[in-house]
Structure 1
């Protein structure tokens, strides 16, 4: 993979690549299919290529995009009316384009990582079962080309907000003819169209002239450049060879505001960093695993690591979501497990040893191309010094490599992972990461009590009532400690002197459509 690049030549999709806005990226874990992409590097591209029923602006406000109207009187039964719209292959976006795509995503045998997004729709339990009891969601019905209806299992306070989220994008008929090949040359309906993908090097997208939604491209194209090192990316940013960088490396956090001046960016975002451990790892199943995860959590001096390494750009987690989201509450029952407490950590570790004496090393896998080495080593040292055990970070060369092992449940050690908000709701974090059977549930956590509280929160009459129930759901998480939340983020990002406007959105990604050279 190229670690630096020259802005020469033309992309295969037309348009002079010297006019592209260059931004940092990484090799996506999977082909670019919205229902199967649940990670940052693929997601940032997918969201440029597609338009959903709604879209989210830089502040997180949801506005209708392909939807002309979304009507409901009870938050359980919805009528969707569509605008006239086209895919980039010239075919029409119809009600069937949405319904067929959602049915594909929900069908358990298709193995889509975003399948849990459809869990509220009537018929999901039958479609997602193994083997499936039905092939399509009973809650979806096409009325005509511009109209379809959605019936949910229960009323939902969050469902309409979700409808700009990637799993709910429409798909053209060509996808169903070649689902494997499609993701290498995707056809969407968004502000950009796919141009070129050089694996492990870059992905190019160019403006879609037929897009007529609320986020048209204000640049001549985007090039997502894949770096092995954020230090190299930062050097390119300073040299003017990279236009926008959404993660300043640890080595530059003390100086980047001075280096970049008014081109430096910092503000709170909906992004949290966790350490996950799958239950098949020795000593981390059952009651012993709960004790060890709590002990490790209380052995980590988050505040010290945040100060020493991140210079105010990280904040110790207070819950299992992110501190910028509507309804966030600090100080939940059980949240003391996220505080540095060496005495309690040792006590819990001893209780776990009484079940089964500890042996081996506590290893934490991380992707070396993501700038994580410093904080992972600091976490490992904090665990080592507090608990008196061997603890080390284990680098994986690429993000895709570690994600494949996590997804395939073959990693066999602890691992770092982050979750960056796709739509501005605590429901998304809690559903995707902890709902039984979710394709994004990295730790294979399953709790009927937690699942039922999520459903109950969706059915709440008001946002405040929903937040009360989500607080109860998180109390269950603190009891079970399915993973170890570490940091919330204050984004540290920057733009080059060749860019006159580049804003970071509510989620921590750039407002890509509005970057102007």
Structure 2
């Protein structure tokens, strides 16, 4: 199955041109098809979520549990609508004459929920904090393009960031990058209030944002239980809230969330458990979504693991990839709700191709897998068991067991899944480099650009480079693609960069993930976006 493309990075980037986003409309999200129903504007909706890995600081949140909270509590310079198109939010204009120096003007009279102004300093200070190596922020990589950023020394203030006046600042990049404005809707680029710097630890537990929703009071985040948001009445941006708030319930399993949805105790579920893949569209007829999205699933096998470094490691990764029958798993385990991977990005991202040289390593070929494994054994005989670490609070056991069984049967080795109770624990083991096995990974795009599916994950030193992969040829092609004069030239370089990835396989692509979800009878106007997340601010709900 080959999905139709959604108009994302291509149209957005072509529209940027020399005057990036200067005239970009600040309208709201397009409404779902059909009449827009009315609801009780004070009614609170509920949605399932996972416990955030870290305190809720924008520059240190790079996973979906915390990301859903932050994108609804904060407003950035721009935001992405359901199709991935860019619209101004806090920004009044973003202009450039050369795609290297950008002048950003902020709309007047914007405030955080504690009254602090949303001004140029609130962006520049937050970005400087995120970029400084001593602060060890997971999203520091996103500031790499700005003049002054360094991986060799701590830089507390980037030379490329200048406050011009209260509502204006400039950004100078190391090189021209025409897609820079497209990135600015990602959480790493959100502003932070002046009060945050008085006690950043306390801020992470009770963040003060400037977006559509807010914490009503301290203690709104009950760890591993729930996060309660209420409407921010002072938000005047384009994402107008149609409900009274959002209760994010932090479930230990998606099966439990699905049972609550069936029982009327949950309004929206943003993923479907394996047990319901064949029935959810009939269980909630007319109230489901199953659509292509900018997300993928992979297995990362770090070079630091025994038998996975150097030539031996390349051979073993290729053997494991050939040993996996993606077509069988996506049809049987996922009931056709996933699509076998053909590259490292997503079919809905402009530049996607099924014909990148080297991509044949993703084809199921049991005989080829055995041959490559034997070549690796000639270098160093295999010992131990191949295990795949995954979080047990998500719908992962079925596919992990299926992959492990295929590896076991097709390579003749012991293989099994290694469950970790929660997503937060799973991610902490990975980010602290304490995982002793291969592990489940994946990518939900931060902004609709091919670069975003490659650079933050595989670039040397990148914050989401979980396997610590480093290849100077790949890095050079990334840089060439980012600084390309036009979109097509950049895409060509990013495709070349994938050729390097297919040889090294720092992560093994498995399949592309659909946005899947369902909702109860009391809520309407439900829509899932290009990035798989439900668009919560436009959901309406009947009153009690």
TM-score norm. by structure 2 comes to 0.90
Query: Runs of 5+ in structure 1 lacking a partner?
Result: 1-15
Q: Find out whether 1:174 has 2:198 as its counterpart.
A: no
Task: Give the equivalent residue in structure 2 for 1:265.
Answer: 289
Give the paired residue count.
498
Q: Where does residue 274 of structure 2 map in the other structure? A: 250
Q: Which residue of 1 aligns with 2:111?
A: 86
User: Residues 444-492 of structure 1: CA distance to partner in whole angstroms, max 9, x if unpaired?
Assistant: 0111111111111111122111111110011111111111111102222
- Find the partner of 2:531 among 494, 499, 507: 507
Superposed CA deviations along residues 73-132 of structure 1, whole A, max 9, x for unmatched, are: 11111001111210111010110110110000000010000000001101112xx43x42
1:41-88 alpha-carbon deviations (Å, 9 max, x no partner): 000001001111101111111111111110101111100111121011
User: Could you report, residue by residue, the CA deviation over 1:178-205 in whole angstroms, capped at 9, with x for unpaired residues?
Assistant: 1222110001111111231000000011
Match of 1:146 in 2: 167
Provide Cα deviations, 1:127-160, integer angstroms capped at 9, x if missing partner.
Answer: x43x42x321110000110111000001112211
**5+ residue gaps in structure 2?**
1-39
**Residue in structure 2 matched with residue 13 of structure 1 by the alignment:** none
Does residue 115 (structure 1) correspond to residue 115 (structure 2)? The answer is no
Structure 1 residue 17 displacement after superposition: 13
Distance 1:359 1:353 in 2: 10
Q: Secondary structure at the match of 1:349?
A: helix
| 8 A Cα contact 1:68 1:81, kept in partner | yes
The residue number in structure 1 matching 2:407 is: 383
Please say if residues 23 and 242 of structure 1, whose CA atoms lie closer than 8 Å, have aligned partners that are also in contact.
Answer: yes
Structure 1 contact 194–204 (Cα < 8 Å) conserved? yes
Whether 1:66 aligns to 2:87 is no
SS in 1 for 2:205: coil
Q: Are residue 294 (structure 1) and residue 342 (structure 2) matched?
A: no
- Distance of 1:342 and 1:209 partners within structure 2: 59
Map 1:425-464 onto structure 2 (within 5 A): 425-464=449-488
Partner Cα separation in structure 1 for residue 434 and residue 245 of structure 2: 38
Distance in 2 (CA, whole Å) between partners of 1:358 and 1:31 is 41
- Tell me by how many angstroms 1:25 deviates: 0.4
TM-score by length of 1: 0.95
Tell me how large the CA RMSD over aligned residues is: 1.3
The residue number in structure 2 matching 1:10 is none
Cα gap change, 1:46 to 1:89, in 2 (>3 Å): same
Provide the secondary structure at the position in 2 that maps to 1:124. Answer: coil
Aligned residue for 2:206?
A: 185
Of 389, 392, 406 in structure 2, the residue corresponding to residue 365 of structure 1 is 389
**SS of structure 2 residue aligned to 1:68:** strand
Contact 1:278 1:409 in 2 (8 A): no
CA distance in 2, matches of 1:317, 1:340: 12
Q: Secondary structure at the match of 2:401?
A: helix
Hey, what does 2:66 align to over in structure 1?
42
Matched residue SS, 1:385: helix
**Aligned-pair CA distance for 1:236:** 1.1
Question: Alignment partner of 2:284: what SS?
Answer: helix
